[in-house]
Amino acid sequence: MSLTNNPNVNKWVDEMVALTKPDKVVWIDGSKEQLDALTDEVCALPEGNRDKMYRLNQDKLPGCLYHRTLPNDVARVEDRTFICTPTKEEAGPTNNWCDPAEMYAKLTPLYDGVMKGRTMYVIPYSMGPIGSPLAKVGVEITDSIYVVLNMNIMTRMGKAAFENLGDTSNDFVRGLHSKADVDPENRYIVQFPQDNTIWSINSAYGGNVLLGKKCFALRIASYQGKNEGWMAEHMLILGVKKPDGEVVYITAAFPSACGKTNLAMLIPPEGYKKAGYEVFTVGDDIAWMKPGEDGRLYAINPENGFFGVAPGTNEKSNYNALACTRKNAIFTNVALNNADNTVWWEGLDKNPPEDATEWKGAKVNGKEFTSVIGADGKPQKLAHPNSRFTAPAANCPCVSPEFNNPKGVPVSAIIFGGRRASTTPLVYQSFDWTHGTYIGSAVSSETTAAATGAVGVLRHDPMAMKPFIGYNVGDYWAHWLEMGEKLGDKAPKIFNVNWFKQDENGNFMWPGFGDNMRVLDWIIKRCEGKIDADETAIGYLPKKGDINVEGIEDEVTPEVMDKLLAVDKDLWKKEITEMRRYYKEDIADKGGHIPEALWAQLDKIEARLG
């Protein structure tokens, strides 16, 4: 029974029913009764059924569920992810491209009758608060209860989502998912930006099947934003409440393994806490930003939950993220502690449970299991390195009171950052929006020993968006420049940070984690015009003594701070040479349209370096 009178939705659902031929169709209204019944159903499935989920210890982890995917289906698959536009040039050099007609022809037979013997679930959902002018509606069709229960955490799911759409609009994203047979050879995650459509088949894992996440909220939304005059970015959103009660909002983009979630949920150091500073989380992963009535840029988190990497999350590394997982969360591919039916993963603590179930489902002695060195020369893992938790944002102890504000929050600063051992200082500010856009285009991280291949190789990840831009990367940069023109003097200030600078012995010089508040403090003072800065060839740097090191003076001595803020001209000349190569060989020579203004930024920085 349809939940909407919208003929565009109903026609499309009928077409998908005719294609996939399910035994039964269930519309998801988001009610507790319906969700409880689906939970009972999926937990009652027999052992060995790959859809099966398990209830965890309901005293210690109330409302929490456990699931494991097949060993060949544990991560996003970039090589099976496509942007389908009429021309390859529209998709640009950072995307896998296929002609839409060709891709539909390839996938349609895979979906034909794929839901025979199964139930089709029709999930209406809102990305962003219900009623927000910045929100968008999606409808995902799936044959997986796991997807329904996760989408309930990650989005505003159910009948209310149709309120934003109304009875006539055709502006909704059509998502079709089937776990099919989880055949990796026929696994596809495909975006058709011009059709507002996403098709995903042969995966049952998180990011490939929760189609509101990267598929809609970044790949499709970035294309919508270009056409409609707003921005969809791979950015956290945080608010810093100052002692005077004012809250300043900041967004930040970092490649993976650069501390994004830790910054989003930062706990200020003791001195800042005593002074009355607080940090609020609006989002840990995605920001949709649009100019408001006052001309400033406003951001919402389109999501309603956190899809976090479990390994490494503990009370010390991210107290607030761990707290999010204590109720109504779903854990995927972590290990089980059979003694009390709770969860465990590497980095949670130093005590693997003796009576454990490892992530693939084998019962093992966890202590013995993790002491065995695997074929890769490292100890075996009880939890998969990419194991996940899906947790409601409402669980977060530091969730922002403005989390559901339909207008969003006004953005004062945008931060970019990567993992760089030398070259990049701890923090610097761009000269203007165009220079800031260049800084975003230059975001890169050096490979660590954990990655295959050589250590210290630069991986370019512009705006931390490389896998998520739904169109030509050069046109995406041009859209950034257009947004800057539109915002004028009300545009947020743009900064770059690097928590990972190393000394001559390879040790990190900056303590990081909560102490990153000290850098945010400087950024806020710059936004408010309260302090001056030193003008250098690469941007504005903190003046001596302007970054507060009270309480960490023994660690961050004046000599260390000098190294953290040093601008080595020879290294920066190499950086510019590398950026010229990257722009030309990786982007322009492969069909990327690089705006002239960004080439000009390279010339200007080079001239200033002398």
The enclosing domain of 150 has a CATH number of 3.40.449.10
**Identity of the amino acid at 135:** A
Flag whether pLDDT at 12 surpasses 70.
yes
Distance (Å, whole) CA 594 – CA 598: 7
Please indicate, yes or no, whether residues 286 and 419 belong to a single structural domain of this protein.
yes
Give the pLDDT of residue 457.
83
Q: Is residue 263 part of a domain?
A: yes
Across all residues in the chain, what is the average pLDDT?
96
Number of domains the chain is built from: 3
Give the pLDDT of residue 455.
64
Flag whether pLDDT at 553 surpasses 90.
yes
Q: What is the mean pLDDT of residues 362-372?
A: 96
Distance (Å, whole) CA 129 – CA 300: 8
With beta carbons less than 8 A apart as the criterion, state whether 487 and 298 touch. Answer: no
Q: Is residue 538 part of a domain?
A: yes
Please indicate, yes or no, whether residues 203 and 102 belong to a single structural domain of this protein.
yes
Flag whether pLDDT at 450 surpasses 60.
no
Q: Kindly tell me the sign of the dihedral angle through the C-alpha atoms of 592, 597, 600, 602.
A: negative
pLDDT digits (tens, 9 = 90+) for 261-299: 999 999 999 999 999 999 999 999 999 999 999 999 999
Flag whether pLDDT at 567 surpasses 80.
yes
Q: Is residue 163 part of a domain?
A: yes
With beta carbons less than 8 A apart as the criterion, state whether 409 and 246 touch. Answer: no
Which positions are annotated as active-site residues?
A: 258
Percent of the chain whose pLDDT exceeds 90: 96
Backbone φ/ψ region at 506: left (φ over 0), alpha (ψ -120 to 50), beta: left
What 3-state DSSP class applies to 383?
coil
Please indicate, yes or no, whether residues 191 and 106 belong to a single structural domain of this protein.
yes
Percent of the chain whose pLDDT exceeds 70: 99
- Based on the number of CB atoms within 10 Å of its own CB, is 376 exposed (0-12), middle (13-18) or buried (19 or more)? exposed
- Looking from the CA of 102 toward its CB, the CA atoms found within 13 Å total 10
Q: What is the mean pLDDT of residues 570-582?
A: 97
Q: Tell which residue, 146, 152, 64, 67, has the closest CA to residue 328.
A: 64
Please indicate, yes or no, whether residues 296 and 424 belong to a single structural domain of this protein.
yes
Model confidence band, residue 259 (pLDDT cutoffs 50, 70, 90): confident
Q: Give the residue from 165, 197, 229 where a domain finishes.
A: 229
Q: Is residue 480 part of a domain?
A: yes
pLDDT digits (tens, 9 = 90+) for 204-233: 999 999 999 999 999 999 999 999 999 999
With beta carbons less than 8 A apart as the criterion, state whether 460 and 447 touch. Answer: no
Please indicate, yes or no, whether residues 191 and 221 belong to a single structural domain of this protein.
yes
Model confidence band, residue 52 (pLDDT cutoffs 50, 70, 90): very high
Q: Is residue 94 part of a domain?
A: yes
Q: What is the mean pLDDT of residues 354-364?
A: 98
Model confidence band, residue 551 (pLDDT cutoffs 50, 70, 90): very high
Q: Is residue 507 part of a domain?
A: yes
Q: What is the mean pLDDT of residues 186-198?
A: 98
Please indicate, yes or no, whether residues 373 and 431 belong to a single structural domain of this protein.
no
Q: Say how many residues make up the chain.
A: 610
Please indicate, yes or no, whether residues 258 and 319 belong to a single structural domain of this protein.
no
Q: What is the mean pLDDT of residues 468-490?
A: 98
Q: Cα-flanking dihedrals φ and ψ of residue 344, to 5°?
A: -150, 150
Give the pLDDT of residue 559.
97
Give the pLDDT of residue 186.
97
**Complete DSSP assignment for 303-317:** -SEEEEE-TT--HHH
Q: What is the mean pLDDT of residues 136-158?
A: 98
Q: Give the residue from 229, 252, 273 where a domain finishes.
A: 229
Give the pLDDT of residue 453.
54
Please indicate, yes or no, whether residues 218 and 244 belong to a single structural domain of this protein.
no
* Residues forming beta bridges with residue 459, ordered by sequence position: 445
Please indicate, yes or no, whether residues 264 and 318 belong to a single structural domain of this protein.
no
Give the pLDDT of residue 451.
45
With beta carbons less than 8 A apart as the criterion, state whether 215 and 200 touch. Answer: yes
Give the pLDDT of residue 256.
84
Please indicate, yes or no, whether residues 291 and 260 belong to a single structural domain of this protein.
yes
Q: Is residue 496 part of a domain?
A: yes
Cβ within 8 Å of residue 504, ≥6 positions away: none
Model confidence band, residue 143 (pLDDT cutoffs 50, 70, 90): very high
Q: Kindly tell me the sign of the dihedral angle through the C-alpha atoms of 410, 226, 77, 302.
A: positive
Give the pLDDT of residue 257.
80
Q: Give the residue from 393, 419, 440 where a domain finishes.
A: 393
Please indicate, yes or no, whether residues 264 and 280 belong to a single structural domain of this protein.
yes
Flag whether pLDDT at 445 surpasses 60.
yes
The enclosing domain of 498 has a CATH number of 3.90.228.20
pLDDT digits (tens, 9 = 90+) for 14-42: 999 999 999 999 999 999 999 999 999 99
The enclosing domain of 351 has a CATH number of 2.170.8.10
Please indicate, yes or no, whether residues 335 and 428 belong to a single structural domain of this protein.
no
Flag whether pLDDT at 428 surpasses 90.
yes
Q: Is residue 67 part of a domain?
A: no
Model confidence band, residue 454 (pLDDT cutoffs 50, 70, 90): low
Q: Whole domain around residue 137: which residue ranges?
A: 7-51+77-229
